[in-house]
């Protein structure tokens, strides 16, 4: 049975008071429509359709190939919005799921239950409802004396008796894909606002003698829609709590979950410990047995196993296993630290690879460099990689010792076993097993390579 989701994302979102389309405001590091899209794809079999309007170009650009888009213009209500998908879906979908793109907490599992309800329903549609004391502006679900669902009444037109109803319409629907399109044309135009409301389709189904079923939700947080930045903060808090709980249940220790910020696409291995005030963002992958934080920010980076990262900032970096970083280190895009690398405080690495066993002292900058295994980078070392117009590479071999405050003026090569004296300004290549000192540095003698203790 083919099922397709239609996400409604055409609203202007004026109460957000923003130049950014409402559905592109991020929640846990991802635009809220991204969360809605993930849930929709989990519950249906076909590529979703997104109805766009305000900010259509920006929303379509974000979606890329993840969904088809149709434009609602002019905006004439939710029923009219669903009509825009008819050309793409009529005769092609057995079931049509409709929900809002500004409900980022709605789970795919919940939509799956809704679909399952409609699969068992011989009637026209099924919808999501919730029992709540605070109606949050939702329409009331009106039932007959026999308990059958009869109508949805919007809050602004509800009678005092109807306002006392605790069962609320959440805004998620699953329709029979054959019945839907004719029924949409029978929705009356609202005389007060001149729009066509999707909620009126319930009464049309009842007049057709077709049963309307409800899937009662038990998690009130899932129902929160975003209309203001206050709502945005509510869903951010709720989703962060959900994400953190999932990681803890998977074997990750969060010392203080309320002070730990993990975005939706981050993965973490078991027995990793996350200390407070840590932010894990973007497509970050963290292995097992690590200690991260406190006061650490990691973005779009890959961390191996058993690493220790203290009070540092990483973006676009790769750490292999047993790496120690910080405190107050910065790893920028392209930084790659091999097994057992130690990077001290106030160091910075960009577009460089430090191979296994490298020790990088504090107050050092390494950029556009390749550094061989077991090399020692003394405190205050700088690769002078930029000449004002272009960046140049530095190549350092294995078992090299770079003295404190050495300036390495690229392009430059230092052979295996080379050494520099403290304060050297190296402007020419240094052969392997050679000591260079001075400013500018000069080679003064060959060295006997020290053998590593086994």
Check which CATH number belongs to the domain holding 42 and give it.
Answer: 3.90.550.10
Note whether residue 454 is domain-resident.
Answer: no
**What digits encode the pLDDT tens for the residues 85-135?**
999 999 999 999 999 999 999 999 999 999 999 999 999 999 999 999 988
105 and 26 in a common domain: yes
Q: What is the pLDDT of residues 186-223, one digit of tens each?
A: 999 988 889 999 999 999 999 999 999 999 999 999 99
Where does 250-289 have alpha helices with state H? Answer: none
Q: Is residue 238 part of a domain?
A: no
SS3 content of the chain, % helix, strand, coil (to 5): 25, 30, 45
Q: Are residues 401 and 252 in the same domain?
A: yes
Query: How many structural domains compose the chain?
Result: 2
Query: Do 89 and 153 share a domain, yes or no?
Result: yes
Confidence grade of residue 270 (pLDDT, cut at 50, 70, 90): very high
Q: Are residues 27 and 173 in the same domain?
A: yes
Averaged pLDDT for residues 176-185: 97
Domain co-membership, 364 together with 434: yes
Q: Which residues are CB-neighbours of 231 under 8 A, at least 6 positions away? A: 224, 225
Residue 239, domain member (yes or no): no
Q: Which residues, including other chains, have CB under 8 Å from residue 174's CB and lie 6 or more apart?
A: 3, 95, 96, 97, 98, 114, 115, 117, 118, 125, 126, 127
Q: Is the model's pLDDT at 225 over the cut of 70?
A: yes
Of 327, 352, 345, nearest to 360 by C-alpha is 345
pLDDT tens-digit series, residues 391-401: 999 999 999 99
Active site residues: 362
The yes-or-no verdict on residue 448 having pLDDT over 80 is no
What is the rounded average pLDDT for all residues in the chain?
95
Q: Is the pLDDT of residue 226 over 70?
A: yes
Between 137 and 280, name the one with better pLDDT. Answer: 280
Residue after which a domain boundary falls, among 223, 257, 286: 223
Predicted local distance difference test score (pLDDT) of residue 157? 87
Q: How much is the pLDDT for 453?
A: 55
Q: Is residue 270 part of a domain?
A: yes
Q: Are residues 272 and 216 in the same domain?
A: no
Residues 348 and 291 in one domain: yes
194 and 278 co-located in one domain: no
With pLDDT > 70 as the criterion, what percentage of the chain qualifies? 99
Task: Identify the CATH number of the domain in which residue 354 sits.
Answer: 2.160.10.10
Region 240-263: what's the mean pLDDT? 98
pLDDT-derived band at 452, boundaries 50, 70, 90: low
- Torsion angle defined by CA atoms of residues 176, 181, 185 and 186, in that order, rounded to the nearest 10 degrees: -20
Q: 137 with 70, same domain? A: yes
Confidence of residue 450 (pLDDT cuts 50, 70, 90): low
> According to the model, what pLDDT value does residue 95 have?
98
Asked whether residue 170 falls in the same domain as residue 280, the answer is no
pLDDT on residue 234: 96
Task: Give yes or no: residues 94 and 208 share one domain.
Answer: yes
- Domain of 71 in residue numbering reads as 3-223
* Residue 168 domain flag: yes
Which contiguous run of DSSP H or E holds residue 451? none
Residues 115, 32 within the same domain? yes
> 337 exposed, middle or buried (CB, 10 Å; 0-12, 13-18, 19+)?
buried
Task: Tell me, yes or no, whether 87 lies in a domain.
Answer: yes
* Average pLDDT of the segment spanning 370-399: 96
Least confident of 313-317, 341-345, 447-451: 447-451
pTM for the full predicted model? 0.91
Confidence grade of residue 439 (pLDDT, cut at 50, 70, 90): confident
Asked whether the beta carbons of 153 and 140 are under 8 A apart, the reply is yes
Query: Is residue 346 domain-resident?
Result: yes
> Are 375 and 400 a contacting pair, CB within 8 Å?
yes
61 is a domain residue: yes
């Amino acid at each position: 049975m083919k099922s397709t989701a239609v996400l409604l994302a055409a609203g202007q979102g004026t109460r957000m008071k923003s130049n950014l389309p409402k559905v592109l405001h991020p929640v846990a590091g991802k635009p809220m429509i991204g969360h809605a899209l993930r849930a929709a794809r989990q519950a249906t079999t076909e590529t979703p359709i997104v109805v766009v309007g305000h900010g259509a170009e920006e929303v379509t650009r974000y979606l890329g190939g993840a969904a088809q888009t149709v434009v609602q213009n002019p905006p004439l209500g939710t029923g009219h919005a669903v009509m825009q998908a008819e050309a793409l879906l009529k005769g092609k979908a057995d079931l049509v799921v409709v929900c809002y793109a500004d409900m980022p907490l709605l789970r795919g599992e919940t939509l799956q239950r809704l679909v399952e309800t409609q699969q068992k329903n011989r009637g026209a549609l099924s919808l999501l409802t919730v029992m709540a004391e605070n109606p949050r502006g939702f329409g009331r679900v009106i039932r007959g004396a026999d308990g059958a669902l009869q109508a949805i009444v919007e809050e602004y037109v509800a009678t005092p008796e109807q306002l006392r109803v605790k069962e609320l319409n959440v805004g998620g629907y699953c329709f029979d894909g054959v019945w839907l399109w004719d029924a949409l044309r029978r929705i009356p135009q609202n005389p007060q606002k001149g729009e066509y409301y999707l909620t009126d389709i319930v009464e049309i189904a009842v007049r057709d003698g077709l049963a309307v079923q409800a899937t009662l939700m038990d998690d009130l947080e899932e129902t929160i829609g975003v209309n203001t930045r206050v709502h945005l903060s509510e869903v951010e808090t709720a989703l962060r709590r959900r994400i953190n709980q999932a990681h803890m249940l998977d074997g990750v220790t969060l010392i203080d979950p309320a002070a730990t910020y993990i975005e939706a696409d981050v993965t973490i291995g078991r027995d990793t410990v996350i200390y407070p005030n840590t932010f894990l963002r973007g497509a970050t992958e963290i292995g097992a047995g690590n200690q991260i934080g406190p006061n650490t920010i990691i973005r779009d980076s890959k961390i191996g196993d058993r690493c220790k990262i203290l009070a540092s900032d990483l973006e676009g970096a790769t750490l292999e296993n047993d790496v120690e970083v910080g405190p107050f280190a910065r790893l920028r895009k392209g930084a790659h630290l091999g097994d057992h690398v130690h990077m001290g405080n106030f160091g910075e690495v960009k577009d460089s690879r430090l191979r296994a066993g490298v020790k990088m002292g504090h107050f050092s900058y390494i950029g556009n460099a390749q550094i061989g295994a077991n090399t020692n980078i003394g405190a205050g070392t700088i690769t002078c990689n930029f000449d004002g117009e272009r960046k140049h590479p530095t190549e350092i071999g294995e078992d090299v010792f770079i003295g404190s405050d050495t300036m390495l003026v690229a392009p430059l090569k230092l052979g295996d076993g080379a050494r520099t004296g403290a304060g050297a300004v190296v402007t020419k290549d240094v052969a392997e097993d050679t000591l260079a000192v001075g400013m500018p540095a000069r080679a003064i003698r060959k060295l006997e390579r020290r053998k590593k203790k086994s």
